[in-house]
Amino acid sequence: MSNTKSKNSSNDSSIANPVLRYWSRLSGLPGGKYVFSKVVQFKAPYFRTVNAMVEELRPNHAKLRIKKRRAVENHIGTVHVIAICNLLEMAMGVVAEASIPGHLRWIPKGMSVDYTAKAGSNISGIAEINPQDWKPGDLDVKVTALDEGGKVVVQGVIKLWISEKR
């Protein structure tokens, strides 16, 4: 048992990115994904409005989930598209922080989404980045929101501005 622990610890310390290292340490523990998600929401408090849970995180890919509940519904009882956009922006932020090379920094520049279907269930939000796109200039992060049946309800791009750190 202690062998496994030290093996995991050495694996954690070999992960250069602090966000991925923190995810690696927490995600396998009971309640660890919840704690990680709450830390993200503490760092960016607006994300608390949708109470998203980080479910998957690896370089250039993140998957988060929100539950369909009254606080995120619109007047017709589906998940409000702005709540979904908030979910997608949180997914983009988590994957950007977990993936960006150490000599670069990012800031959001714009978001373009299409509403493709009603969102009548819990929603998963996925953000994906092409690893070759990490260079100064515009970077498009592909974002997709899916209902529980796997149907795309929102899809689009969040544009980031990437620049060298000073």
Q: Regarding beta strands 61-66 and 123-128, do their DSSP bridges make them parallel or antiparallel, or are they unpaired?
A: antiparallel
Count up the domains in the chain and report the number. 1
DSSP letter for 117, please: S
Which of 113, 59, 92 has the alpha carbon at shortest distance from 161? 92
The Cα–Cα gap between 72 and 84 comes to 9
Question: What CATH number should be reported for the domain holding residue 89?
Answer: 3.10.129.10
C-alpha separations of 56 from 12, 20, 73, 75 in Å: 16, 11, 24, 31
Does residue 86 contact residue 46 with C-beta atoms inside 8 Å? Answer: yes
The Cα–Cα gap between 7 and 3 comes to 6
The Cα–Cα gap between 162 and 107 comes to 7
**Token pair listed for 107:** 């800031």
The Cα–Cα gap between 35 and 27 comes to 9
User: pTM here?
Assistant: 0.89
The Cα–Cα gap between 34 and 16 comes to 23
Q: Give residue 96's region: left, alpha or beta (phi > 0; psi -120 to 50).
A: alpha
pLDDT tens for the chain, 166 residues: list them. 334 433 344 455 557 799 999 999 999 999 999 999 999 999 999 999 999 999 999 999 999 999 999 999 999 999 999 999 999 999 999 999 999 999 999 999 999 999 999 999 999 999 999 999 999 999 999 999 999 999 999 999 999 999 999 8
C-beta atoms surrounding 60 within 10 Å? 18
Can you give the residue range of the structural domain that contains 150? 2-164
